């Protein structure tokens, strides 16, 4: 597919998925939603993608939904509107949360409204200290809807969920880290380097163990104690089967052979 609103860049096991409407601050229009849906579907099975980074081109990460093309121009087209909302829901929700490789949101600038669902549903997030983020819906007479409430409740501190949803105040990258929306903030000049450093750390790990970790935690957080226990037992058996015994035969064996210290480093895969 020839993408117009996004761009894909591959780099040694790491794939950058970039919103590419810098002239519109990377607001998500129907084309962008369709393309992200398609790209995530394709990259799910792409052996060269071991870690996925989502970022924006230009000075913006994502200015939320395209207020003109997603809301205003579709207001009298219920069928088309429903269709595109579903696509938007699918890729930013289940497809992103359960993407089989780790995902990192690299928040390079403006991030508003629906952009929070992208950040919240990535596994990890790094932001530029200088970025400005906001739950701006209240500022145009609306509320954080769709996927945003779940995503922000999942990651942000509750008082800040309420504060920023009710006031619509924008905040910077450092504040985003303080309130749990992202893992950490770095100066913008260091953002790409630090994001790649984190991605490279993940590329070193066992890919099946990463996938199982995501599924155990992401599904497990919605289960009770007993369900979590049996869920993780079942996933453990699945992992051993998929790895063909890898974690025991390599990870544990290399430790018993005194080849490495798992408390401090990763086992040798090959």
CB nearer ligand ACO, residue 24 or residue 57: 24
CA angle, residues 159, 25, 186, in degrees to nearest 5: 55
- HSE-up of 76 (CA within 13 Å, CB side)? 1
DSSP 94-141: IIHHT-SS-EEEEE-SEEETTHHHHHHHSSEEEEETT-EEE-GGGGGT
- HSE-up of 11 (CA within 13 Å, CB side)? 13
Binding mask 117-146 for ligand ACO (x = CB under 6 A): -------------------xx---------
Other CB atoms within 10 A of residue 96 CB: 23
CA dist 159 and 41 (Å) reads 36
CA dist 31 and 21 (Å) reads 10
Least separation, in Å, of the C-beta of 162 and ligand ACO? 18
CB nearer ligand ACO, residue 70 or residue 99: 70
The percent helix, strand, coil of the chain (3-state, each to 5) is 50, 15, 30
CB nearer ligand ACO, residue 22 or residue 220: 22
CB nearer ligand ACO, residue 66 or residue 206: 66
CB nearer ligand ACO, residue 28 or residue 208: 28
27 contributes a contact to ligand ACO by CB under 6 A: yes
Least separation, in Å, of the C-beta of 183 and ligand ACO? 23
CB nearer ligand ACO, residue 24 or residue 214: 24
Contact between 103 and 52 under an 8 Å Cβ cutoff? The reply is yes
| Choice from 8, 19, 24, 32 touching ligand ACO (CB under 6 A) | 24
Burial category of 34 from C-beta neighbours within 10 Å (exposed 0-12, middle 13-18, buried 19 and up): buried
| Choice from 9, 10, 68, 268 touching ligand ACO (CB under 6 A) | 68
Number of residues in contact with ligand ACO under rule CB under 6 A? 15
- HSE-up of 252 (CA within 13 Å, CB side)? 6
Least separation, in Å, of the C-beta of 61 and ligand ACO? 10
Least separation, in Å, of the C-beta of 88 and ligand ACO? 10
The contacts of residue 137 (CB under 8 Å, 6+ apart) are 113, 143, 144, 145, 148, 165, 168
CA dist 205 and 116 (Å) reads 28
Binding mask 144-173 for ligand ACO (x = CB under 6 A): ------------------------------
Binding mask 35-64 for ligand ACO (x = CB under 6 A): ----------------------------xx
| Choice from 3, 44, 58, 67 touching ligand ACO (CB under 6 A) | 67
- Could you list the residues that contact ligand ACO (CB under 6 A)? 24-25, 27, 63-68, 110, 112-114, 136-137
């Amino acid at each position: 597919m020839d993408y117009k609103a996004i761009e894909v860049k591959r780099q040694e096991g790491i794939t950058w998925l970039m919103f590419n409407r810098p002239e519109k601050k990377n607001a998500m229009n129907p084309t962008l939603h369709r393309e992200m849906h398609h790209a995530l579907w394709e990259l799910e099975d792409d052996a060269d993608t071991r870690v996925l980074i989502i970022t924006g081109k230009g000075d913006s990460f994502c200015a939320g939904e395209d207020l003109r093309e997603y809301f205003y121009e579709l207001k009298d087209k219920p069928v088309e509107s429903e269709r595109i909302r579903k696509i938007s829901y699918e890729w930013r929700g289940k497809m992103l949360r359960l993407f089989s490789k780790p995902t990192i949101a690299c928040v390079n600038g403006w991030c508003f409204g629906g952009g929070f669902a992208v950040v919240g549903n990535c596994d990890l997030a790094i932001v530029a200290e200088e970025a400005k983020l906001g739950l701006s819906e209240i500022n145009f007479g609306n509320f954080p809807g769709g996927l945003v409430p779940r995503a922000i409740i999942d990651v942000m501190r509750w008082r800040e969920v309420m504060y920023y949803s009710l006031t619509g105040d924008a905040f910077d990258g450092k504040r985003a880290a303080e309130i749990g929306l992202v893992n950490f903030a770095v100066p913008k000049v260091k953002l790409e380097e630090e994001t790649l450093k984190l991605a490279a750390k993940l590329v070193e790990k066992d890919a099946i163990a990463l996938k199982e970790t995501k599924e155990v935690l992401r599904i497990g957080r919605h289960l009770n104690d007993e369900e979590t226990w049996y869920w993780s037992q079942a996933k453990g058996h699945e992992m051993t089967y998929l790895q063909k015994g890898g974690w025991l035969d390599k990870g544990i064996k290399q430790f018993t052979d005194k080849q490495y210290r798992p408390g401090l480093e990763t086992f040798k895969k090959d």
